[in-house]
Every structure is written in C-alpha cells, then in structure tokens.
Amino acid sequence: MILPAMKLPKEAELLGVNTEELEIKGSGAHTVVRLNTDVRHNLVASRANTSGGTSRDRVYLLLENIRGTYDAAILNVYINLPEEASQGDHRNLLAGSVGLYGLRRASIQHGEDGGLGLTFVLDITRILIEQPAAKSPYANEIRVSIVPQRQLPDPADVVVGRVSIFRQKGA
C-alpha cells in the first residue's frame, strides 16, 4: 500500500529570541522575546494572512533546552500576560501547559539524552491573532510568562535555555 503524498510544511523562520537563560522560581518567571526588526514584517504578514483565512501560516513558541532536577511540575505558558494580572482572568492568553516529566534524566550531561534537556513547542497563532494590534506582532517585543501550576519549592532548579518564536509558512 502506498500512502498518498502529503504536502509538508515549509521551513520555519526564527522571528525573535529572549536574551538569556530564564530561571523558574517559586511562583514563576517572565521573559521578553525581542523580535528581529528584519523579520517582524513577516509576522505581521502571517497574522494578516491567517486571520483572513488565506494561509496556513503558524507561529510557534519554543521553550528550548529546559534543564533541571525538579520533574514534578507543570508550567503554564502565557503570552503578553499583564504584570500583576491574575492568570484566571486571562485564560485567552494561555499558550499551553507543559509537564516536566523526565526533566532530571534529560538533564544528565553524560546520560542517554546527552544533557540536552527538554524542548517544547506551543502553537501561539490563535493568541497573536486575537491580540490587539498594539500588543502583538506590531510591537517589538512579546512578553512570555511561565507560571507553575503549583508553586515550586525553594531549592527547585528549573532553567529554560532559550525562549524563541518561529513562523512556519503553510504548505
């Protein structure tokens, strides 16, 4: 049996990155992903295309190389969550939740996983479309908040190597 040929998505393009490692402590942390001015217009175009229904462009948030020793945590990831805001009031800004199961093992440098840690990809296209223009792709920065579902214990050691945003053009 031969399966019909599928249209594969086109290559992904990096749009923006935060500047340094993000340490998650206690009730969470936030970082700012600065968008590259050269490619920001691509994100704007992507937003326009997707909202118009003419394209399948997707925008993804990557939490790369998460390392640490505390596996028993679930992290909620929010986009442009206002400071001092309650998470419950902004469910529409929730990009997704990630479980850190296997974090300790993935972080062992000489272990089977080579110490790469965990990497998660979250689709944030919907959030960016629904955002007011002043807060999303037209701005230079996107604020990413990472909030543990339960407060992390004090010596918990969870570090996100890099937070980045990619755009993938549709097939």
Partner 1 sequence: MIYNAKEYAGLRNSVLSISLISWMVILVGQVELRASFCCPTMGSATSLQMLLASNSATSLASGWALMLTAMMSPMLVPPIYYIRISSFARRRPRSIAFFVAGYGAVWMAAGCIMLALELASIWLAPQSYLPATVVGFVALVWQASPFKQRCLNRCHSRRALAAYGTAADWDVLRMGLEHGFWCTGSCWAVMLFPMLLPQGHLVAMAVASILMFCERLDPPKTPSWRWRGFGTALRYLNLRLRGPKCGRVSLAPGCEA
CB of 154 to partner 1, least distance (A): 25
CB 63 within 8 A of CB 96: no
Closer residue to partner 1, CB minimum distance, 90 or 143: 143
CB of 80 to partner 1, least distance (A): 20
HSE of 97, CA atoms in CB hemisphere, 13 A: 11
Q: Could you list the residues that contact partner 1 (CB under 8 A)?
A: 1-3, 8-14, 16-17, 19, 21, 34, 36, 38-39, 60, 62, 64-65, 109-116, 119, 121, 161-162, 164, 166, 168
Closer residue to partner 1, CB minimum distance, 39 or 44: 39
CB of 153 to partner 1, least distance (A): 25
Dist CA 46 CA 3 (whole Å): 31
Burial track 18-51 (b if 16+ CB lie within 10 A, e otherwise):
beeebebeeebbebebbbeeeebebbbebbeebe
Closer residue to partner 1, CB minimum distance, 36 or 87: 36
CB of 155 to partner 1, least distance (A): 23
CB 166 within 8 A of CB 60: yes
Dist CA 171 CA 169 (whole Å): 7
Closer residue to partner 1, CB minimum distance, 87 or 108: 108
